[in-house]
Amino acid sequence: MKKVRITVKKIACYKDLIDEYENPILHACNVKLNDTFIANGWEKPKGFCDSAWDTISPFVMALSHGATNLYDGWMKNEKSAMISCNDGFRPVSFYLEVLDIDAE
């Protein structure tokens, strides 16, 4: 099993949807552009959003266990994926890439 680097590549915010549909909340997300996390396959990186992990963890697991060419050639790097979290108001796009380092 290999480690997978998770990098924040884009953070969107849909103010119109927030204003129309979301109840006021104090805190939504901590990540910043270019933040990087390292996943050991099944293990959520420390400080990583629980909801985002629920969305991307199947892809992290697949890549860490050797899956390649997800979605039949979708990515230029066959050992990577671009996955967004499931927050419809503030989606974050994560670039997942396999590292040539075995997970602990």
37: in domain: no
User: Is residue 32 in some structural domain?
Assistant: no
Residue 51: inside a domain, yes or no? yes
Is residue 7 classed exposed, middle or buried when 0-12, 13-18 and 19+ CB atoms within 10 A define those classes?
middle
For the whole model, what pTM was predicted? 0.91
CA gap 48, 40 in Å, rounded: 13
pLDDT band for position 102 (cuts 50, 70, 90): confident
Decide which of 1 and 102 is more confident. 1
Confidence band, pLDDT 50/70/90 cuts, at residue 71: confident
Specify the number of domains making up the chain. 1
Which of 52, 44, 39, 50 has its CA nearest to residue 3?
39
pLDDT tens digits, one per residue of 22-32: 998 888 888 99
In a domain, 33, yes or no: no
Q: What is the pLDDT of residues 17-54, one digit of tens each?
A: 999 999 988 888 889 999 999 999 878 999 999 999 99
